[in-house]
DNA sequence: TGATTATATTTCGAATTCGAAATATAATCA
DNA sequence: TGATTATATTTCGAATTCGAAATATAATCA
């Protein structure tokens, strides 16, 4: 292949999924980035801001902003890192925890409906997207 | 499957690709949305604002903004639709055309490098992403 | 046909995102 | 060890994005 059709399709798929998530999650007073951060902490437990940033792939300055928002909403708190004084560890507050406990099952249900159209190919899609995502751009 | 791992991977893949595109295209003074709009017109020829919006999947209000930007840069112009007075047809100016002529080959080369890691599975990825993207959310 | 509903686009204000520069601390290396 | 370079985070200003409301025109239907 030589065209970039694949990228076009990738963009459209994501935008479409993102729109569903946005609408899905809006009534809980969260946007997709906020939800993304909460989701990481929900699944991985407390993590450094830097580590969260590597998971959600947004600019450092955007991280600061999202975290401030989540702190204001009392879903998350910054805890000084034990030995690296540059860092903060992010963790869910009890409110954040129970917020996610309340939201997450519905979110999974709604999203699974869409993902289920893939059937057994879901694992294949995962594999291919991982290949795409982990490409090292050393040779650009 | 029951988790949303697939979505996580989808997001990461896209963000990573998007970052490459952003850096790739930055030196040409364009951002990803602007480039997306130009790309659609470059490939499909003149289209209604509405039609472009359906391709790039951004909010109508964002469309107005991007178009204004592209008009200021003289890459694109709004032409009154022949019979539907609500609509405008968007088309590349000669400047827009030659800009894309200049940029596009490099962009393809850079992106193909990444896509080529997929090998023959690229067609499979397209198929699966299309399935994901075209899901009708009638039953949400 | 005239009233009502739908569609295409823009305007508005607020929220979000970015990149560059600033700040603070950690790691490296001469 | 002290100077230099690297890393984690925030601040800043500008750019981008959104959704709701406004505007204009088209389509529908009583």
CA distance A132 to B115: 7
Residue A29 counted as domain residue: yes
pLDDT grade for A140, boundaries at 50, 70 and 90:
very low
* Mean pLDDT confidence for A9-38: 91
| Across all strands, nucleotide nearest B64 (CA–C1') | C10
Q: Is A30 exposed, middle or buried (0-12, 13-18, 19+ CB in 10 A)?
A: buried
Residue A36 has pLDDT above 70, yes or no: yes
Express each pLDDT in A78-121 by its tens digit.
999 999 999 999 999 999 999 999 999 999 998 999 999 999 99
Question: Residue A94 belongs to what domain range?
Answer: 5-135
Among the partner-chain residues B13, B23, B111, the one whose CB lies closest to the CB of A129 is B13
Whether A36 is covered by a domain: the verdict is yes
Q: Name the pTM for this structure.
A: 0.90
Is B139 part of any domain? no
Please count the residue pairs, one from chain A and one from chain B, whose beta carbons lie less than 8 angstroms apart: 155
Q: Is the dihedral of CA B11, B17, B19, B22 positive or negative?
A: negative
Cα separation of B7 and B13, whole Å?
10
Give the pLDDT of residue B70: 97
Domain-located, residue A124: yes
Q: Are A67 and A90 in contact (CB under 8 A)?
A: yes
Is B44 contained in some domain? yes
How many residues can be counted in chain A? 140
- State whether B4 and A107 contact (CB < 8 Å): yes
Q: What is the pLDDT of residues B40-65, one digit of tens each?
A: 999 999 999 999 999 999 999 999 99
A31 within a domain of the structure (yes/no): yes
Min Cα–Cα distance to chain A from B66, Å? 17
Highest mean pLDDT among B2-6, B24-28, B79-83: B79-83
In a domain, A140, yes or no: no
- CATH assignment at residue B44: 1.10.10.10
B47 by Cβ neighbours in 10 Å (0-12 / 13-18 / 19+) ranks as middle
Res B136: pLDDT: 58
Q: What is the pLDDT of residues A54-78, one digit of tens each?
A: 999 999 999 999 999 999 999 999 9
Kindly report, residue by residue over B81-108, the tens digit of the pLDDT.
999 999 999 999 999 999 999 999 999 9
Question: How many domains does one find in chain A?
Answer: 1
Contact B126 A16 (CB under 8 A): no
pLDDT at A138: 42
**Residue B140 located in a structural domain:** no
User: How far, rounded to the nearest angstrom, does the alpha carbon of residue B68 sit from its chain's CA centroid?
Assistant: 17
């Amino acid at each position: 292949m030589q065209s970039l059709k694949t990228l076009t399709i990738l963009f459209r798929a994501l935008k479409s999924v993102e729109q569903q998530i946005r609408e899905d999650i809006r009534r809980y007073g969260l946007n997709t980035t906020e939800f993304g951060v909460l989701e990481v902490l929900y699944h991985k437990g407390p993590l450094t801001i830097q580590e969260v940033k590597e998971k959600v792939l947004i600019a450092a300055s955007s991280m600061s902003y999202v975290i401030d928002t989540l702190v204001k909403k009392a879903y998350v708190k910054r805890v000084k890192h034990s030995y690296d004084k540059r860092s903060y560890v992010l963790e869910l507050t009890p409110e954040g925890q129970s917020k996610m406990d309340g939201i997450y099952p519905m979110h999974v249900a709604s999203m699974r409906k869409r993902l289920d159209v893939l059937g057994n190919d879901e694992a294949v899609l995962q594999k291919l997207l991982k290949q795409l995502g982990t490409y090292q751009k050393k040779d650009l």
